[in-house]
Amino acid sequence: MSSEKVRLVRFKVVLIGDGGVGKTSIARRYLGQGFTTEYIKTVGANFYIKKMTFNDNIFGRIFIEWSIWDLAGQPTWDQVRPLYYRGAKAALVVFDITNARSYYNVPKWISEFWRNSGGALPFVLVGNKIDLRGKVENALPPQVGMKYAEMASKQLGIKVPYIETSAKTGENVNEAFTHLAKVILEFAAVKLRARRLAKKS
């Protein structure tokens, strides 16, 4: 038997963003449940569990068990949503590249997340529905998402990745979760370093 130390961690993460941007579709796609064009509004929240392995250059090989909370974006749920943020380690903040309004609402989602989860936690910015780029007018170019992520990186002190996905084709959906693991572990490493420095002084 291998003597390799196996680390199992459970990470709670939340999927946030305006209603209709594709949060439920991304979660379903990640879970291997396919894609549907039918829009079934999420009632309150969906909850999913999925495991993945991740090789981290600081923490080594890690087994991650995600508990993924897919929150309803509609204002009707504004009162309930704060409860779901508790204990979350990170967020996938999703906008729809064919819906500029959903992009302009990104800061609102991040501040709601930070306000209810206990501080400036890491996140991955996701521009979804890239299969529609070139098919609809006025789709947002990748630069807008990249720019926002860059700005947020400075604020957070660790790199905020921007990734473009299609829940329809499945493009980059797994990668979004790999980035999520990366930012959570990077954030943990930064905090650990800060604590060690504080002890020394």
Residues in contact with Mg ion by CB under 5 A are 23-24, 42
The reply to whether 170 sits near ligand GDP by the rule CB under 6 A is no
Residue 4 burial by CB count (10 A; 0-12/13-18/19+): exposed, middle or buried? exposed
Among 9, 19, 48, 144, binds ligand GDP (CB under 6 A): 19
Count CB neighbours of 190 within 10 A. Answer: 14
What's the closest the beta carbon of residue 185 comes to ligand GDP, in angstroms? 26
**Which of 115, 116, 93, 117 lies closest to 105, judged by CA?**
93
Nearer to Mg ion, 71 or 139 (CB): 71
- Give the Cα separation of 110 and 108 in Å (integer): 6
Choosing among ligand GDP, Mg ion, none, which partner's interface includes residue 22 (Cβ < 5 to 8 Å by kind)?
Answer: ligand GDP
The reply to whether 132 sits near ligand GDP by the rule CB under 6 A is yes
Nearer to ligand GDP, 26 or 149 (CB): 26
The reply to whether 179 sits near ligand GDP by the rule CB under 6 A is no
Choosing among Mg ion, ligand GDP, none, which partner's interface includes residue 168 (Cβ < 5 to 8 Å by kind)?
Answer: ligand GDP
**Helices 23-30/173-200 angle, 10° precision:** 90
Among 99, 105, 117, 166, binds ligand GDP (CB under 6 A): 166
SS3 label, residue 155: helix
Q: Which residues bind ligand GDP (CB under 6 A)?
A: 19-25, 36-37, 39, 42, 73, 128-129, 131-132, 166-168
